[in-house]
Structure 1
Amino acid sequence: MEEKNKSIGKAVNRIDGILKITGKATYATDYPIKNMAFAVIFKSTIASGTIVNLDTTSAEQANGVLAVITHKNAPKLNEKGGIRGGALLQSPEILFYGQHIGVVVAETFEQARHAAHLIKVDYQKKEGKTDFEKLATSAGAPKGKELADLIRGDALGMLDTSAVKLEEVYETPIEHHHPMEPHSTIAVWEGDKVVLYNGSQIINGAQAAAAETLNLKPEQVRIVSPFIGGGFGSKGGQWANLILTAVAAKVVSRPVKLALTRQQMFNSVGLRQQNIQRIILGASKDGKLISLVHQTTTQTAIDSEFLEPCGDCSKVMYEVPNALISYKVAPMHMMLPTYTRGPGKSTGSFALESAMDELAYKLQMDPIELRIKNEPQKDPSNGKPWSSRKTVECLKEGAKAFGWANRKVVPGSNRVGDVLIGYGVACGTYPARQRDSSAVIKLTKSGENVFAIVEIAASDLGTGTNTILAQTAADGLGIPLVHVTVKLGDSDLPPAAGSVGSVGAASFANAVNDACTKITDELLARSAKQFFIRPTAYQLMVSENIKNYQTRVDAKAPKEAEQYSAHSFNANFAEVRVNALTGMVKVTRFLAVTSAGKILNPKTARSQIIGGNVWGIGMALSEESVMDPRWGNFATRSFGDYHVPANLDVGKLDAIFINEEDKIPNKMGVKGIGEVGIVGVAAAIANAIFNATGKRIRKLPITPDKLI
């Protein structure tokens, strides 16, 4: 295919865009299933204890009610089946406030909701562990070996040899995911098989977890999830609401729909935990890092452990011969935390990149100069060579595009009336990986046209997966983009990796690209002709008059990929304006410069980056879930008090991609951008606020009361 006709690398509109803007895209609860009943979950109102009495009589007698399911009558489930957070109605024990304790199923949603309010519950309360500030002082080592201390050299001992030393504590609060589409499911039993219409970031993972928990075989469970209205990690693992929908449908012998309310989202599907991070940096007078200590204290559920790897950026971002990365965790009566966009890296980079800015100020160095001075030539954490690393290019190109030279060095010196103006910079990174994925391509010739159907059990969170796979197939087969149909989001399709951890684009696109290569090879072998120029699959289908042909490929990352350290990198630049009288902060400009290998579609890629930047703005300035330690419940329970940035909160956003060819991680040279878009953003804003005001805020979010 001629270069001018190529699809990859072009800013193609989303092929599913019309479906979405016309309301025809089918999300989890959009399927018009006949004879559907409605389920509503009711929850505990204590954080720790036991249910001693559960009176469901009034609810069961209410109009339209079909069933009330509690631990007294719920079927036996496999609690080790992979469903996160427990709450499967298998026991009267209460482990966190808001734990599911029952499900009401009725003819209508309104009837189910009304009946749920009629249920009376008596508890035997126990003293709960709900105050993180008190528990943090006695936090212990995590159980998981993957977060064992990383020790390189003598980080604490070498601090005494450092000419300049910085020691500070940075805090990030609990955050919630809050996708536009709350978690919801429709369950339809067909004999001994169940179809679950459900938003799932990992289609086959949801299938396996549902099957094992329901004591079924994987082939007895089908997950259907062609469209997802956001997930940000919360739909990566599956939660009890998925299984309880299936249970409810089985109990009433008809399809059931269960959708969590916005308030229920706060204690049903995970969260980003609160982190206290102690950073110690030691450096020479000329800015060379000698020692780095990054110690994280965090929280987890009382019965299960999850920790954000906040020290990950500290492992790889800078050349430092002596490092200590460690973790402590406090079990609490709270919802199990889970992966949240840029897990560990977004929160950890706030601490690391704020500390680097503080060190630069102490050294009287430009923050960009300090970062470049400590650029590592290989991965400091494991000694592997980089597959590629263009952090310096990101910093230099960003500085030019942003106008970094106009930054006032003295904090608080750039003032216009009551407005203080500041510039900040911070870097970020996220691993680049390809995961095993399979794809089927089906070709059909009609006249002189060839049409392709691509089948893969991938998921599209709203990031543009449909579009980039169509672009990949169009180029790989030599046919127009409009002749490609993409089928994904269904566990009946060939298995694939999930849309998590920035592995989606690399895994799915390489599987489709490999399938295009394979089908062309097979058609070429079938032709028994010799060609001087390799023909396309399209040309072979036409020249050989083949009506239908299909193939399947099971794609894996190149073996040599493990010998290198592969990452996406970025540099973030923020301009803020702070009202000196009110403390109100506005991010007036934000520029993200990213090196992420081959960019399949600049338009959808830019959307990914600026989406991460917007969340980073919220992380820096407004987002915080506040737990009341007296009860263990959240005082913030809606968008009225959990503040997500709106259009007026966000200034001008720009995204630049550095040209980068890196085919070591995968054949196409694709690296993920979904996660890295948020990494370093909060630190860049915090650093800009310091430059504007001279006030260093180390506890997020940076609200006006902290600046006045």
Structure 2
Amino acid sequence: MDTAYIGKSRKRVDGVKKVTGSATYAGEFKPEGLVHGYVVNSTIANGKIVAIHTGKAKMIDGVLDIFTHENLPDDVRQNVDYTDPLSPPGHPFRPLYNDQVLYNGQPIALVVAESFELARYAAGLVEVEYLAEECTTDIKKNMGNATTEGVEDTAPDRGNAELSYANAAVKIDVEYSQPRHYHNPMEPHVSIAEWNAKTQSFKIYDKVQGVNSSQEYICGIFNLDTENVQILSPYVGGGFGSGLRPQYQLFLAAMAARELQRPVKVSLTRRQMFSFGHRPACIQQLQMGASKEGKLKSIIHKAYGETSKFEKYNETIVDWSGMMYQCDNVKLEYRLIPVNVYTPMDMRAPGGATGMFALECAMDELAIKANIDPLEFRLLNYADKDQNEDKPFSSKELRECYRQAASHFGWYNRHTKTQIKDDSILVGYGMATGCWEAMQQKSSAKAVLTSSGKLVVSSSTADIGTGTYTVMSQIAGDTLGIAMEEITFQLGDTSLPKAPIEGGSWTVSSVGSAVKAVCNHLKKQLIDLAKVNVDEDLDHVNYDEVSCTDGTLLFPNGTLINMSTLLLTAGLDSIEAENALEPEVRQEQYSSYAHSCVMVEVHVDKDLGMITVPRVTSAIAGGRIINPKTAESQILGAITWGIGMALEEEGMIDDRSGRIMNANLAEYHMAVHADVQQLNVLFVEEHDDIVNPLGAKGLGEIGIVGVASAIANAVFDASGKRVRNLPITLDKLLE
């Protein structure tokens, strides 16, 4: 049996459970005595609660209690650690903390009843009196309030960008904007909390992208040790960043469970999924200059992102402009505009999808103004090192991405003049570069090998649909030469070795590297056992000289030892190892990124302005690809989201009330099957022995970066209309 799994396509090990409905998600557990909570949300964006009338609701038979700021437990209110571990600078939001209303949709009450339907009905009977104050949610109207307070430093300026821009032969001065985007994973956020009064401990099922962050949050609120708080999240129906920070239903469920001495389930409705976090609206201004030959002379990039009035949420938006292309004169500026919304939060490729949209559109505009092919313009300004940090790249196969994408797409064979198809359809082509950080975080894993040949590997990481169960099993099987059918990978439980949140495209590089390391520890234990229990002549063999395949150890002299037999010979039922792995110090000497080239074809109805995207090619250099099948799925999903970002997604807020007007899946438009046609993914071979022990760079985010800009550039190519504010809707084309 071939047990070399890394680099090979494998079906998801949890696939059968998911398609048959036997995979149990956080909201599907049913502890005995379970009751249900329903959240009441504010209808104003700024002001205070004068009174909450709960009498009618409490009279309903089956309503157990209603929690508001008026009856919040004193120990919780007084606890200074009542925050979450991933909160940005400022004053983290505390549900039910006081009578202040900070944003429209803020949770202001929790109705707990014997059934969900009863709790929902009773919640409709709760009446709230407000003292409303003026609110503001439009960052365009509040540009004058932009601040650098609480803003992280951008990459340092270099050269003299203003003077170089003034002297440039070819230049552009443009502004781009994008609206708020909302995560909307298939599974809404939900928590089920059980409180054990005897042991003073919680057992909580939570929809989250990292159980350890929820554990730390609950421990801080209720002043408990980690041993007294177990968080479980075995399956997650998508997250995209919405599950990085613990959301308010977690606190409400835990608080109610402790007070009522009953297991409490709090699940959010689809409308309530719009009441916390989002990709922030952003305005970007770029001034770029080049020589007449097309060499970049100056880049001035300013960005204005929104944040709440109580926290300072930062994104890395402008730094990409100082790193992506060779340019000696760069000035970067990033400011925040506080408005009456909940704090934005990370959303797939945070900062990168935003900053690279503006940069790649501006590169297209400058290339066209210089009368240079957009691809050739990028190659002419190719960066061989990271000028922001003055470091070499650990690896960079972007040139090969350009070459393969162009060859597959037929870039150089395209018509550069506007084409018309069927007398009514304008055809256009566009391209963009993508880039995302390749990071590794400290992570831990445990492995247990039994004498029956079973291998159990565990880590408290998550699987948000990315294939974590599968690729970790592949890494373990490949390292120890054990068939995947004999491997069980466990995750989503705080009792397991600690792992970082699943985000940032670092799960494979972090947890995967820890899994590889712990399996190597087991291998060393097995070799030592063989030296003692089988053949003393093996004593001088180096560990690296022994290979593992099909459940056996193969020594350089040809000796083949079955692992199960070895354990039985040694009188052991099992062996185990556990370790924590941190990034190597040498990684700090390099910049590590995944890169891509995205090329698209768009069709524009010249009469109606409707846009379709019949063809996309994305060439990805993402280091070592562990599982091409699940990797391709990551990129396909990201491209689809990029189509939605370019053409459809727009969170609309009534500036008078701060109310989200399209907080539903009928009016918040996203890409659907009809929008997705021919998507082509190419993985460019890339070797990197610096980025992490696996050489993998992560693929969760790189796939979306550049897609929206490539589509915008193609729309211009087709129509001659440069739309700089997303989404590109037909009304903007027909203006």
Among 682, 707, 716, the alignment partner of 1:690 is: 716
Residue 28 (structure 1) aligns with: 26
> Alpha-carbon deviation of 1:148?
4.2
How far does the alpha carbon of each residue in 1:668-688 deviate from its partner, in whole angstroms, 9 at most, with x for none? 101111011110110010011
> Alpha-carbon deviation of 1:63?
2.1
Counterpart of 1:360, as a letter, is A
> Alpha-carbon deviation of 1:540?
4.0
How far does the alpha carbon of each residue in 1:335-391 deviate from its partner, in whole angstroms, 9 at most, with x for none? 110001100100111100000000110011110101111111110111111100111
Residue 555 (structure 2) aligns with: none
1:445-456 equivalence runs, <5 A: 445-446=451-452, 450-456=453-459
8 Å contact kept, 1:153–1:321? yes
Counterpart of 2:386, as a letter, is D
Residue 633 (structure 1) aligns with: 659
8 Å contact kept, 1:150–1:326? no
Instruction: Compare 524-533 and 330-339 and name the one that shifted more.
Output: 524-533
**C-alpha distance in 2 between matches for 1:540 and 1:130:** 63
Instruction: Say if 2:669 is the partner of 1:643.
Output: yes
Instruction: Say if 2:526 is the partner of 1:519.
Output: no
SS for the counterpart of 2:386 is coil
Among 464, 469, 478, the alignment partner of 2:467 is: 464
> Alpha-carbon deviation of 1:155?
1.1
**C-alpha distance in 1 between matches for 2:61 and 2:567:** 66
SS for the counterpart of 2:681 is strand
Among 427, 430, 453, the alignment partner of 2:433 is: 427
Residue 566 (structure 2) aligns with: 543
**C-alpha distance in 2 between matches for 1:604 and 1:644:** 22
Residue 151 (structure 1) aligns with: 157
Instruction: Say if 2:499 is the partner of 1:496.
Output: yes
Residue 487 (structure 1) aligns with: 490
Among 101, 106, 128, the alignment partner of 2:108 is: 101
SS for the counterpart of 1:41 is strand
Instruction: Say if 2:159 is the partner of 1:165.
Output: no
8 Å contact kept, 1:558–1:667? no
| Count of residues in correspondence between the two structures | 700
**C-alpha distance in 2 between matches for 1:149 and 1:669:** 27
SS for the counterpart of 1:324 is strand
**C-alpha distance in 2 between matches for 1:257 and 1:206:** 16
Among 299, 303, 308, the alignment partner of 1:301 is: 308
8 Å contact kept, 1:456–1:494? yes
Residue 702 (structure 2) aligns with: 676
**C-alpha distance in 2 between matches for 1:567 and 1:266:** 32
Among 589, 592, 605, the alignment partner of 2:618 is: 592
1:565-584 equivalence runs, <5 A: 565-584=591-610
Counterpart of 1:135, as a letter, is N
> Are residues 272 and 544 of structure 1, via their aligned partners in 2, closer, same or farther at CA, if it must alter by over 3 Å?
closer
**C-alpha distance in 2 between matches for 1:209 and 1:162:** 52
**C-alpha distance in 2 between matches for 1:160 and 1:563:** 35
**C-alpha distance in 1 between matches for 2:627 and 2:420:** 39
Instruction: Say if 2:538 is the partner of 1:534.
Output: no
Residue 621 (structure 1) aligns with: 647
Residue 213 (structure 1) aligns with: 221
8 Å contact kept, 1:68–1:103? yes
Instruction: Say if 2:396 is the partner of 1:396.
Output: no
Instruction: Say if 2:347 is the partner of 1:340.
Output: yes
> Are residues 426 and 480 of structure 1, via their aligned partners in 2, closer, same or farther at CA, if it must alter by over 3 Å?
same
> Alpha-carbon deviation of 1:526?
2.9
Among 49, 52, 59, the alignment partner of 2:50 is: 52
1:236-255 equivalence runs, <5 A: 236-255=244-263
> Alpha-carbon deviation of 1:544?
4.8
Instruction: Say if 2:295 is the partner of 1:292.
Output: no
Counterpart of 2:496, as a letter, is L
How far does the alpha carbon of each residue in 1:570-603 deviate from its partner, in whole angstroms, 9 at most, with x for none? 1101111111111110110111110011100000
**C-alpha distance in 1 between matches for 2:269 and 2:343:** 19
> Are residues 606 and 530 of structure 1, via their aligned partners in 2, closer, same or farther at CA, if it must alter by over 3 Å?
farther
> Alpha-carbon deviation of 1:414?
4.5
TM-score calculated relative to the size of structure 1: 0.97
**C-alpha distance in 2 between matches for 1:150 and 1:415:** 48
**C-alpha distance in 2 between matches for 1:12 and 1:608:** 14
How far does the alpha carbon of each residue in 1:198-249 deviate from its partner, in whole angstroms, 9 at most, with x for none? 1221221221122112322222211101110011011011122111110111
8 Å contact kept, 2:155–2:388? no
Instruction: Say if 2:83 is the partner of 1:82.
Output: yes
Counterpart of 1:136, as a letter, is M
Q: CA RMSD in A?
A: 1.4
Counterpart of 1:542, as a letter, is T
How far does the alpha carbon of each residue in 1:11-65 deviate from its partner, in whole angstroms, 9 at most, with x for none? 1000000000000111110112111000000011111111111111111111210
8 Å contact kept, 2:83–2:94? no
Residue 230 (structure 1) aligns with: 238
**C-alpha distance in 2 between matches for 1:406 and 1:376:** 26
> Alpha-carbon deviation of 1:523?
2.1
How far does the alpha carbon of each residue in 1:419-459 deviate from its partner, in whole angstroms, 9 at most, with x for none? 0111110011111111111111011122xxx1100011110
> Are residues 691 and 121 of structure 1, via their aligned partners in 2, closer, same or farther at CA, if it must alter by over 3 Å?
same
8 Å contact kept, 1:87–1:101? no
SS for the counterpart of 1:151 is coil
Counterpart of 2:128, as a letter, is V
**C-alpha distance in 2 between matches for 1:179 and 1:413:** 38
Instruction: Say if 2:337 is the partner of 1:330.
Output: yes
Counterpart of 2:476, as a letter, is A
8 Å contact kept, 2:3–2:481? no
**C-alpha distance in 2 between matches for 1:468 and 1:530:** 36
> Are residues 92 and 323 of structure 1, via their aligned partners in 2, closer, same or farther at CA, if it must alter by over 3 Å?
same
User: Identical aligned pairs, as a percentage?
Assistant: 39
**C-alpha distance in 2 between matches for 1:685 and 1:670:** 28
Instruction: Compare 667-676 and 209-218 and name the one that shifted more.
Output: 209-218
SS for the counterpart of 1:150 is coil
8 Å contact kept, 2:50–2:130? yes
> Alpha-carbon deviation of 1:500?
0.7
1:60-209 equivalence runs, <5 A: 60-75=58-73, 76-77=76-77, 78=79, 80-83=81-84, 86-144=93-151, 146-148=152-154, 150-191=156-197, 192-209=200-217
Instruction: Say if 2:513 is the partner of 1:510.
Output: yes
> Alpha-carbon deviation of 1:541?
4.0
Unaligned runs of 5+ in 2: 553-561
Instruction: Compare 244-253 and 485-494 and name the one that shifted more.
Output: 244-253
**C-alpha distance in 2 between matches for 1:330 and 1:154:** 27
> Alpha-carbon deviation of 1:94?
0.7
Counterpart of 1:24, as a letter, is S
Instruction: Say if 2:318 is the partner of 1:320.
Output: no
SS for the counterpart of 2:476 is helix
> Alpha-carbon deviation of 1:409?
1.8
How far does the alpha carbon of each residue in 1:618-662 deviate from its partner, in whole angstroms, 9 at most, with x for none? 000000001110111111110111011110011111111001110
**C-alpha distance in 1 between matches for 2:363 and 2:537:** 61
> Alpha-carbon deviation of 1:543?
3.3
